[in-house]
Structure 1
Amino acid sequence: MTRLHLVRHGPTHAKSMVGWSDLPADLSDTAAIARLHDHLPHPAIVISSDLSRAADTASAIQGARTRLPHHLDLREINFGDWELRRFAEIEAEDPDRIRAYWETPGDVRPPNGESWNEVCARVDAAVDALIAQHAGADLIIVAHFGVILTQLQRALQLDAEQAFGHRIDNLSVTQITHSPTKWDVGLINHLP
């Protein structure tokens, strides 16, 4: 049995669509960081996306835990040409596509970006490899909103629209247990 502790990185305070842009996290809430550190299991293995907002959050909560190198495939959704733009701005240019992307996620993709199905395939493969390499361990994966939703969708056998209905706050923990025969979801969006 392998337990995944999916942690969303600290806030960026951006008011736009942030995917692969490397914006820093605000980690000034040291009390929240300490609570998160104390809530997560010891011992555990820590890994993060290679984007600084996730990598720096992982460093802030790591403590004496084992740390793996950053993983590119744990990045947020690639929003392509929509990156760092506000929803209203994109909606004014391409209302049908952006509504379809969020309301019926699947194969719809932003220009030069990736579809929800592509995000799921990328993240599922990365998580499966981590589970295979570290079977039976507690894995703390510090990543992004979209990454965490991909794993909730898979574990709960949801469609994409249902997955997008979950709230995932910054510095929250979502816990999923994987055994050879099933997935079990414990905490969702838990703020220690």
Structure 2
Amino acid sequence: MTRLHLVRHGPTHAKTMVGWSDLPADLSDTAAINRLSGFLPKSGLIISSDLSRTIATADAIQGERRRLPHDPDLREIHFGDWELRKFKEIEAEDPDRIRAYWEHPGDVRPPNGESWNEVATRVNRGIDRLIAGHAGEDLIVVVHFGVILTQVQRAECLTASEVFAHRIDNLSVTSIQIENNNWSLQHINHIP
């Protein structure tokens, strides 16, 4: 049995669409970091995306755990031309596309960005590679909102619209158990 412990990075406090931009995480809440680290399995392997907010969060909770190399396939959604812009600003320019992107996710993509289906394909590839290389282990995967939702969607066989209804807070844990290719969501958005 393999267990994924999907941890959302510390907050960036940005009020814009943050995908591939390399904003730092605020890790000043040391009590929350310590609770999170204490909740996660001590023998788990830690991996993160290659963006600094996940790397720093992984560093903060690592302790004695073994670290795996960063994986760019575990990056957040690539928002393209919408990156670091506010929803209202984009809505004023391209209301139909941004509404369709969030209300009917799937093949709609931001200009020069990724659709939800493209994100899920990329992330699934990275997660599958991780599971294949470390079957039977606890994998602590420090990633992003969208990345976590792709795996919730997979575990629960949800549509993209259904999975977007889930909340994923910063420094939360979503755990999925995988046994004989059966995926089972153990908990979602748990705040230790």
**Same fold, TM-score > 0.5, yes or no:** yes
Output one character per residue of 1:3-51: Cα deviation in whole Å (capped at 9) or x when no partner. 0000000000000000000000000000000000000001010000110
Partner of 1:101: 101
Q: 1:155 and 2:155 equivalent?
A: yes
Partner of 2:47: 47
Superposition RMSD on alpha carbons, in Å?
0.4
Partner of 1:18: 18
Aligned partners of 1:65, 1:153: CA distance in 2, in Å?
Answer: 28
Helix, strand or coil at the partner of 2:4: strand
Q: 1:180 and 2:180 equivalent?
A: yes
Helix, strand or coil at the partner of 2:190: coil
Q: 1:128 and 2:92 equivalent?
A: no
Deviation at 1:2, TM superposition (A): 0.3
Q: 1:112 and 2:149 equivalent?
A: no
Matches within 5 A, 1:1-16: 1-16=1-16
Output one character per residue of 1:90-146: Cα deviation in whole Å (capped at 9) or x when no partner. 000000000000000000000000000000000001000100000000000000000
Matches within 5 A, 1:49-68: 49-68=49-68
Percent of paired sites with the same residue = 72
Output one character per residue of 1:41-76: Cα deviation in whole Å (capped at 9) or x when no partner. 010100001100000000000000000011101000
Deviation at 1:181, TM superposition (A): 3.4
**One-letter code of the match for 2:152?**
L
Partner of 2:83: 83
Partner of 1:165: 165
Partner of 2:36: 36
Aligned partners of 1:178, 1:159: CA distance in 2, in Å?
Answer: 20
Helix, strand or coil at the partner of 1:114: coil
Aligned partners of 1:2, 1:127: CA distance in 2, in Å?
Answer: 12
In the superposition, the TM-score normalised over structure 1's length comes to 0.99
Aligned partners of 2:187, 2:155: CA distance in 1, in Å?
Answer: 12
Aligned length, in residue pairs? 192
Helix, strand or coil at the partner of 1:178: strand
**One-letter code of the match for 2:161?**
E
Partner of 1:140: 140
Aligned partners of 1:42, 1:14: CA distance in 2, in Å?
Answer: 32
Deviation >2 Å, runs of 4+: none
Structure 2, gaps ≥5 residues long:
none
Helix, strand or coil at the partner of 2:176: strand
In the superposition, the TM-score normalised over structure 2's length comes to 0.99
